[in-house]
Amino acid sequence: MKTRLALVAAATMSAALLPAQTPGPQTRPAPVPRTGVEGRALHFDFPSIEIGVAEYDEGPTGATVFYFPKGVVATVDVRGGAPATVNTDALRLAYPSAFVDAISFAGGSSYGLAAATGVADAIKTERAGSGAWGSIATVAGAIIFDLGGRRFNTVTPDYDLGRAALRARRSNSFPLGNRGAGRFTTQGGYFGDSLRQNSGQGGAFRQVGPTKIAVFTVVNALGTVVDRGGRIVRCGRATAAGCGTIADRITRKTATLGSPAGRAERGSSDIPPGVPTESTTLTLVVTNQKLAYWALQRLAVQVHASLARALQPFNTENDGDVLFAVSTDEVDNQSLSEPDLGLIASEVAWDAVLSSVPEALPPGAISRANVDARTLDQYSGEYSLSRAVRVQVRREGTRLLIQGAEQVGIYLRKGVSAELIPTSSADFVMDNPRGDRLRFDRDARGVVTGFTINPGTWPVAAARIR
């Protein structure tokens, strides 16, 4: 039976989270939710969880919803310095009843909190007697920042996307990588653009006797993803030996802190004091183990603290880190103590973080193609990423260069040209720290109309102006 908390709707939003910097009203058509996602997925055995994913390709951005048909007891641990959440106050009141129906993760900064409202409304539509006391849908949620700097529009998850995600739910499957709320996430920005890399959403599952433990996370961290050997998982300039260790990176960082060299290395990701943040890791721990509220809360704290091993640094003032822990309250495994459950869940959480990172191309996988000067000249011109962001593409001899008069998000530094290295007549790799891909677009007549950075699940489109 639900408590009065089913009616609580206490939302806490950080004023430190910025909207995208796009002037004027939006005149584009309304985005269309897409629920048919492809690619890597975690398959597991936990039928008490149903997971739905919906995305706006126009962003790109998305939402991930975890629905519990019989409700769950839930707690929350907020550690980042810039969180944005909804209904988390209700979870702190220590009521032991299973009054929470769903957890919503979404992109879009504070705007994305609307997805949780859409989830609740979709539950209401499906539920008989949904207006009766004790049947009100309770949805808690949190968001990540996926706007300015990495994409140049203000398409955000909303009420409709939340409804679509709930309707698309299924059991025992969780999309990994750039999907759902993890559609446009990054990690590693603390150490500068040379380590700011793609991330996404990750998940892992383990069963110990009758006890099931699942962890799902959306990694949009200021820190860097680190494996169990202390190695950086992904970087822009990987060698045959990999990306190096986090210990070496921290040593180099601390040696230059406060110096001009340190600021130069950090580049565009330098975040002065008081400036709103663009990083957050959201995590959900689900178990079927029966736990007292205090034990579930300690599980949340223990697992959240453990993530500092997988993400370094973690819980900074520029992260909005939030972890939810829920129990479906189905089994009583006396052989598994609360600290042991926390230890296992912490290892599962590390696995989840590692699974969030998309695979990178191996060193040497990109080979330069020969493209004639006439074709390169067809690409020369001015392109608009938004009304406020423009770049110039020009040919110099046999090289094609791209440059912005101002900082172009995480892609180009102000006033610095980057070579576009051809891999085919239309496809290029940007000679920037991440090695972003760029594809020129043509219309039916063969006229160059624009380009797309990172075509695929992480696209940023530019239109040709002249």
pLDDT tens per residue, range 200-234: 999 999 999 999 999 999 999 999 999 999 999 98
Residue 152: exposure state from Cβ atoms within 10 A (0-12, 13-18, ≥19): buried
Per-residue confidence (pLDDT) for residue 128, from 0 to 100: 77
From 185, 280, 281, 283, the catalytic residue: 280
Opening angle at CA 71, ends 68 and 74, nearest 5: 100
Is the confidence at residue 24, as pLDDT, over 90? no
Q: Considering only 265-279, 344-358, 383-397, which range has the smallest mean pLDDT?
A: 265-279
Q: Are 411 and 436 in contact (CB under 8 A)?
A: yes
Per-residue confidence (pLDDT) for residue 242, from 0 to 100: 80
In angstroms, the first-to-last Cα distance of the chain is: 64
Report residue 362 as tokens: 């191996």
Can you tell me the distance from the alpha carbon of 382 to that of 384, in angstroms, rounded to the nearest whole number? Answer: 7
| Domains of the chain and CATH, by start | 4-355 (3.60.70.12), 373-464 (2.40.128.50)
Give this prediction's pTM: 0.89
Per-residue confidence (pLDDT) for residue 449, from 0 to 100: 97
Is the confidence at residue 14, as pLDDT, over 50? no
Is the confidence at residue 1, as pLDDT, over 60? no
As a whole number, mean pLDDT of residues 441-462 equals 95
pLDDT per position as a tens digit, 138-160? 999 999 999 988 899 999 999 99
- Is 280 among the residues known to form the active site? yes
| Selected residue with higher pLDDT from 361 and 307 | 307
